[in-house]
Amino acid sequence: MEKEWELFLAPYEQAVGEMKVKLRGIRKQFREQNKHTPIEFVTGRVKPVDSILTKAALRNIPVDRIEEEMQDIAGLRIMCQFVEDIHQVVDIIRNRKDLHIIQERDYITNKKESGYRSYHLVIEYPVQLITGEKKILAEIQIRTLAMNFWATIEHSLNYKYQGIFPEEMKERLQRAAEAAYQLDEEMSTIREEIQEAQHLFSHGRGKSKDN
């Protein structure tokens, strides 16, 4: 990689590294307190230079405007078991003092035409550099494991078809997205039942102790 790009991307690398530690820290705290963790796992990446340039060309973003206009050079992804967990994670992030949310895109309520579902937050995250503080734009995608499964498969097929899917494939992917949605719905019902059962269990135990 050219030295200039390396220098440009270094604060993004730092932001992604720090955010990964912090988001994984949320999971750790839930587990330490024996609570259901709304975060299953966290990944993060800095967009490769060729992808930055391709996206900039597609969106007519001049190279000297990339920093201001490209919001996902730093990208974090949070995977959750249940749709309800996504909203809990969003609330936790909204309450943090170490970042600032500048945009929310709810592709769960409003799924994309492709069938894509996820909750996106565009944030401003301050990194401390030897030259002082620098605010970095980052995109956090929050999704269930089922949404992630679909998006990962669709993303790799996108490479094969260069974004132009044959009609039949498009329909298949839309059907698969619907199946993933049904799976999430079904899991949400089970989740409620698990919680109900846990509640009854702890209640029952409490009673027998009293007797």
- Left if phi > 0, otherwise alpha if psi is -120 to 50, otherwise beta: which for 195? alpha
The one catalytic residue among 2, 13, 32, 139: 139
Q: Which residue has the tokens 């027998």?
A: 208
Polymer length of the chain? 211
Give the residue with the Cβ less far from ligand 0O2, 51 or 128.
51
Q: Considering Cα of 68, then 69, then 70, then 71, what sign does the dihedral take?
A: positive
47 binds ligand 0O2 (CB under 6 A): yes
Binding status of residue 170 toward ligand 0O2 by CB under 6 A? no
**Under rule CB under 6 A, residue 105 binds ligand 0O2:** yes
114 binds ligand 0O2 (CB under 6 A): yes
C-alpha span between 132 and 51 (Å, rounded): 28
Applying CB under 6 A, does 151 fall inside the site for ligand 0O2? yes
Judge whether 139 counts as a catalytic residue. Answer: yes
Task: Say how far apart CA 198 and CA 200 lie, in whole Å.
Answer: 5
Query: In which order are the strands placed within the sheet that holds 41-46?
Result: 41-46, 74-80, 132-144, 119-129, 100-106
The nearest distance, CB 160 to ligand 0O2, in angstroms, is: 13
> Closest approach of Cβ 173 to ligand 0O2, in Å?
9
**111 forms part of the interface with ligand 0O2 (CB under 6 A):** no
Task: Quote the DSSP letter at residue 166.
Answer: -
Q: Per rule CB under 6 A, is residue 154 in the interface with ligand 0O2?
A: yes
94 is a site residue for ligand 0O2 (CB under 6 A): no
What gap in Å lies between CA 13 and CA 200, rounded to an integer? Answer: 47
Q: What does the buried/exposed string (b/e) look like for 13-24 if buried means 16 or more CB atoms within 10 Å of the residue's CB?
A: bbbbebbbebbe
155 binds ligand 0O2 (CB under 6 A): yes
List the one residue from 116, 149, 176, 183 that touches ligand 0O2 (CB under 6 A): 116
Nearest-approach distance from CB 139 to ligand 0O2, in angstroms: 6
Q: Interface with ligand 0O2 includes 165 (CB under 6 A)?
A: no
The identity of residue 30, as a single letter, is F
- Contact residues: ligand 0O2, CB under 6 A: 47, 51, 55, 72, 75, 105, 112, 114, 116, 120, 151, 154-155
* Residues with a known catalytic role: 139
